[in-house]
Each structure stands twice: as structure tokens, then as C-alpha cells.
Structure 1
Amino acid sequence: MSLLEVKNLSVDFRTAHGNFRAVDNVSLTVEKSEVLAVVGESGSGKSVAMLAVMGLLPWTATITADIMAVDGQDMLNMRPKERRNIIGKDIAMIFQEPMTSLNPCFTVGFQLGEALQAHLKLSRREKKERIVNLLEQVGIPAPEKRLSSFPHQLSGGMNQRVMIAMAIACQPKLLIADEPTTALDVTIQAQIIDLLLKLQQDTGMALVLITHDMGVVAETAQRVSVQYAGQRIEMQDVKGLFSEPHHPYTQALLSALPERAVGKKLASIPGVVPGQFDRPAGCLFSPRCAYATSRCRSERPVAANAGFGSALCHYPLKGGSPEGHPGKDEAVA
């Protein structure tokens, strides 16, 4: 049994102009002690899908799924009180912006204590010792002195470490890290990623890493889920994804890496991710795909009929190459 199992998850938001589908029939699994990376451009539904699992979406969201379970527990039909016993304990999340996730009115020590108090029965002394140990574990110097600090008195990197300490406080089985290095400088980014991987290896928890950084994916993940416009368009192990991408979007993402443009012009993907009012009739990537055919523009690919590599494409690439792709000559013509 997978630690996290999600099958055909969809999330619709009610807006003044009608419903907007932010997540469209996404399925994924996470095994115990696994590191799964979820990649894609902004607007691809990565964060929304994980927030749906956590139960943190606003009332305007409608969530449907065939299965949404954590460690065998049905998160879709669970009562709010039962969910509160699991969120923060068995499954935890690190958010993008620590300065907006931490409460500016309370000290670091108080906020960490709240997380412990909600799930663990500790005395005041045990709770303080646990908080100090957590801050020390995530690499914050002089942790005893930081207990009385407010978020604005700490740097962005320090606040992110506090968020990590809060997330691992109850030793979760699954940790979701939603672009945990956003707005941090390069040196601090590397430190945060190294810290997360060390904690994952030390505790054996599973890690879902939402990121834009394909370099981080290559060095950390075991499997990769690629999302585009709310859909999961490809799922592969990390080695296979980098050596033989099957979806044109995955190939375009990898081609845009600076290290693959040595001596030539840096590649880019034209256009933008479709929104509520400009979704194409066929494949959602067809307006930006260099190999799109008339079939791609008029007919949606179906996951059940997808080719090898779980690519949601009418014509998955073979060997990571467009040679023999029916759209190659049509695109040139």
C-alpha cells in the first residue's frame, strides 16, 4: 500500500465568470521513504493539488477524486476533526513564503509550541526541550535565544528553517515541500535542500518536492511527475526522464536548461499556460508544441490511451527525439 495515493483528483474553483478547473484528473502515488518531485510552470496546479490533499483550500474550491488516501486513511470523506488529528502529525507541509506563513505577532518558540501541543502530550519542560532540539536539528545557531524572537527579527533563510522545524515537529510520515527555496539566495537555497534531504534520510519520511529547479530534481528525486495546465502529462523515474523524455513539454523544459545550451542559443517555450478562457479544444499544450498536428489541436489525449512512459500525448516521443513524429513534418510545412 502506497503512503500517499491520489487517483483522478480534480479541483474546480467557483469564480464570478463560472467554474475554473485548476487540477484536472491528476493521479500519483508516493511510497514510504520516497522522494517524488512535482515539476511544471506556474499555473500548472502543483500547489493546488497538494493543498487539496492537506484540506487547506478555500470554500470556493470543489474537490473530487476516486481515491485520496494517506497511509490507507481516506482524506476525501474524512470528518474535519479526524483530519485535524492527521494534518501536522502524519502529513505536513512547508509553504513557499515563510514570512507570510509565520504569524508576525507571536514568537518562534510560541508557534513551534502550538504545533507540538496540538498533537503531542508534553509537559512545559518537555515541550521547551523539544523546541530547542528542533531548532538545533534544522541548523539554527543558539536555539535557546531564538525562542523569544519574532519572525521579522530573523532572515528569510532562518524563517524557512523555522517552518521546516514546525513541519517535522511531530515526525510526519510524509512531508510536502512547496518550492521551499523561493525568494532565497542561491547559497541558502542549497542549504535548505540539503537540510530537507538529510532530514528525509535520517527519519525515513517520504518527501514530495514541488519545484521549478530541474537541477534540484536531478540530484534529489527518485521519480518525477510533470504537470501542465492542471494535468499530469508524464511520470517517470528521474534517470529516464532526463535521458528519454516522452512528452514534448518535458523535452521543452529540459531543452531550456542553461547547461544544455552551451555554444548555442538558449531554448524557450513560446506562449503561456492556458487559463480559464483560452483553453484549447484539443491537447492543452498544442498551441505551444512544435510538433502539434491537426489531431492534437482538435482531440484531447486520454490517459488510458497514453503511450509508454505515462505521457499524456497522442504521439509520445521515442528516445527523447521527434524523429518519426507525425507532427514534425507538418510543423515544418
Structure 2
Amino acid sequence: MPLLEIRNLSVDFATASGRFRAVDGVDVTVEPGDLMAIVGESGSGKSVSMLALMGLLPWTATVTADKMEFDGQDLRSLSARAKRQIIGRDISMIFQEPMSSLNPCFTVGFQIKESLKLHTSLDRRQRQDRAVELLELVGIPDPAKRLNAFPHQLSGGMSQRAMIAIALACQPKLLIADEPTTALDVTIQAQILELLTGLQQTAGMAMILITHDMGVVAETVRRVSVQYAGQKVEEQPVEDLFDDPHHPYTAALLAALPERATGKHLPTIKGVVPGQFDRPQGCLFSPRCAFADERCRTIVPPRQPQALGQALCHYPLIDGVPQKSQEVTA
């Protein structure tokens, strides 16, 4: 049985000019101990889809799903109190910006122990010992002393490690890491990623890595879900995705990797991710796609079978060639 199963997740935001769909019919399946990534440009709905799972979206958001189950429990039918017993304990999240996610008014130790107090039966002494153990686990030197430090007294890398310690405090079954290396220098990024994957393997927990860095994906995860403009456009094992991407958007992302560039200039994807007022009628990627035709611009594409990575495309690529002669399935 999957640890997490989400079907047809949609998120709409109320705006002054109407409703905007930020996530559109996304499916997510995570097995126990799984390690997957959700990738795409900024504005693709990666973070919003996971924040919807966590219940952390503002009141302007409307979340709908045909199915949203975690560890056999239907999250849609749980009361707010019952959901709080799961969120933060069994499902935990590392946010993008540690300096804005940590409360500047409280010490790191207080913020770690707050989670332990809410979700465990440990007494005060045990919570103190567990907090020291967590800071040591994430590689913070002199952990007993650092418990008394405020967030502004820590470097960016240390703050991110403290965030990871908070997320791991209750030994979650699923860890969501939302751009965990944002704003960190390259050497610290490598340390944080190595730390996360090491902890994931040691604890046996499942992890979803949200990122736009395909290089990180290649070195870190087993399976990749590609999102564009709020839709999941492809999902494959990481090796298959890099060897033979089936959606033109995935192929364009991979072609933009510096190590794959062959000419003097780095390939780019022209245009931007469509927003509320510039969404095309057919395929959302059609204005930027090198293979798009009139069918792509006017008709919503069907989802291809598993053999084609579930690519959301009229003409999925095989070995880099669009299958325009192929009769696709709805």
C-alpha cells in the first residue's frame, strides 16, 4: 500500500479578477522509503501542491482532490485536530528560506522542543536530550551550546541544518524538502543534500525533494515528476528520464543543463510559464514548444500510458523525435 496517494489534486486561489488555478489535476504516489523529486520552473505549482497536503495554504485557496490518503487515512475527512496529529509528526516539511521560516524571537532549542512537546510524551529532560541529539545528528558543532542560539546568530547553512533538525524531531514517515539548498553556496548545498539523503536512508523514511535543479535530481533521487504551469506533464525513473524524456518540456529542461550544451551558447526555453491571464487554449506548453502545431494550440492533450512516462502531450518524444504519426490514447 502506498504511503501517500493523491489523485486529481487541484488548488484554486481567489483573486480580485476571478479564480486562478495554480495546481491542476496533479497525481502523487509515494511508497514507504521512496525518494522522489518534483521538478519544474518557478510558477509550476511544485510548492503549492505540497503545501496543500500540509494544510498550510492561505484562506484564499480552495483545495480539491478525488483522493488524498496518507498511511491508510483519508486526509480529506479528518478533523483539524486529527490532522494536526499527523502533520508535523508523520509528515514533516523543510521550507525554502530557513531565515524566514525560523521564528527570530525564540532560540533554536525552544523551536525544536516545541515540536517534541506537541507530538511526543517526552518529559522536559528527555526533550532537552533529544534536541541535543538532533543538532548533533545534522552536524551542528557544540550542539548543547547552539540550542541557546537565536536564528540570527547562525549562518545560512547552520540555519538550514536547524530546520532539518526540527523536521526530523518526531521521526516522520514522509519528509518534504522544498528547495532545501536555496540561497546556500555550492559547497554547503552539497553538504545539505548529502545530509538529507544519508538521513533518509538511515531512518528509512520517504522523501519528496522539490527543486528546479536537474543536476541535484540526477545525483539524489530515484523517480522524477515534472510539473509545468500546475500540471504534471511527465513521470519516470530518474535514469529513464535523463536518457529518453518523453515530454518536450522535460527535454528542453535537460537540454539547458550546462554539461549537455554543445555550442557556444547555453540553450534556453523561450517565453515564461503562463499565469492567470495568458493561458493558452490547448497544451499549456504550446507557446514555447518547438514541436507544437495547430492541434497542440487548440486541443487539450491526452495523458499517455505509463510506457511513455504518462507524458501529457499530443506527440510524445521517443529518442528525441515527436511521434506525430502515432495515434495517441486519451
Secondary structure at the counterpart of residue 303 of structure 1:
coil
**Corresponding letter in the other structure for 2:238:** V
Distance in 2, Cα, partners of 1:23 & 1:209? 18
Supply the AA of the counterpart residue of 2:308: F
CA distance in 2, matches of 1:309, 1:206: 22
**1:316 is aligned with what amino acid?**
P
Unaligned ranges ≥5, structure 1: 327-333
What is the Cα deviation at residue 263 of structure 1? Answer: 4.5
C-alpha contact 1:291 1:325 (8 A) present in aligned 2: no
Corresponding residue for 1:193?
193
Asked if 2 retains the 8 angstrom alpha-carbon contact of 1:306 and 1:313, the reply is no
Relative to the length of structure 2, the TM-score reads: 0.96
Distance 1:51 1:204 in 2: 23
Task: Tell me how far apart the structure 1 counterparts of residues 232 and 38 of structure 2 sit (CA, whole Å).
Answer: 9
Partner of 2:328: none
Partners of 1:276 and 1:144 in 2: CA distance: 49
1:77 is displaced (CA, Å) by: 2.2
What residue is the counterpart of 1:151 in the other structure? 151
Q: Percent identity at matched positions?
A: 68
Structural mapping, 1:312-323, within 5 Å: 312-319=312-319, 321-322=320-321
Secondary structure class of the residue paired with 2:105: coil
C-alpha separation in 2, matches of 1:53 and 1:302: 26
RMSD over aligned Cα atoms: 1.4
With 136-145 and 256-265 compared, the bigger mean Cα shift is at: 256-265
2:310 is matched with 310
Alignment length (residue pairs) = 326
User: Is this contact kept in 1: 2:7–2:66, CA < 8 A?
Assistant: yes
Q: Partner of 2:299 in structure 1?
A: 299
CA distance in 2, matches of 1:306, 1:169: 37
Structure 1 stretches of at least 4 aligned residues deviating more than 3 Å after TM superposition = 304-307, 323-326
1:95-141 Cα offsets, whole Å, 9 max, x none, are 00001100000001111110100101111111100000000000000
SS at match of 1:28: strand
What secondary structure is seen at the aligned counterpart in 1 of 2:309?
Answer: helix
SS class of match (1:29): strand
Partners of 2:90 and 2:203 in 1: CA distance:
13
Tell me if structure 2 keeps the 8 A contact 1:200–1:207.
yes
Deviations 1:296-319 (A, max 9, x none): 000011337797220000000012
Kept in 2, the 8 Å contact 1:280–1:287? The answer is yes
> Map of 1:63-82 to 2, 5 A cutoff?
63-82=63-82
User: Are positions 1:43 and 2:43 aligned together?
Assistant: yes
- Which residue is 1:329 aligned to? none
Q: Distance in 2 between matches of 1:306 and 1:220?
A: 23
What is residue 240 of structure 1 aligned with on the other side? 240
Asked if 2 retains the 8 angstrom alpha-carbon contact of 1:44 and 1:230, the reply is: yes
One-letter code aligned to 2:255: S
**Aligned residue type for 2:10:** S
Structure 2 counterpart of 1:282: 282
Query: What letter corresponds to residue 274 of structure 2 in structure 1?
Result: P
Alignment of 1:244-263 (within 5 A): 244-263=244-263
Find out whether 1:217 has 2:217 as its counterpart.
yes
How far is 1:324 from its partner?
Answer: 5.4
**TM-score, structure 1 normalization:** 0.96
Distance 1:231 1:252 in 2: 16
Question: Does the Cα contact within 8 Å between 1:39 and 1:227 map onto a contact in 2?
Answer: yes
Q: Residue 200 of structure 2 aligns to which amino acid in structure 1?
A: Q
Contact 2:291 2:322 in 1 (8 A): no
Partner of 2:215, secondary structure, is helix
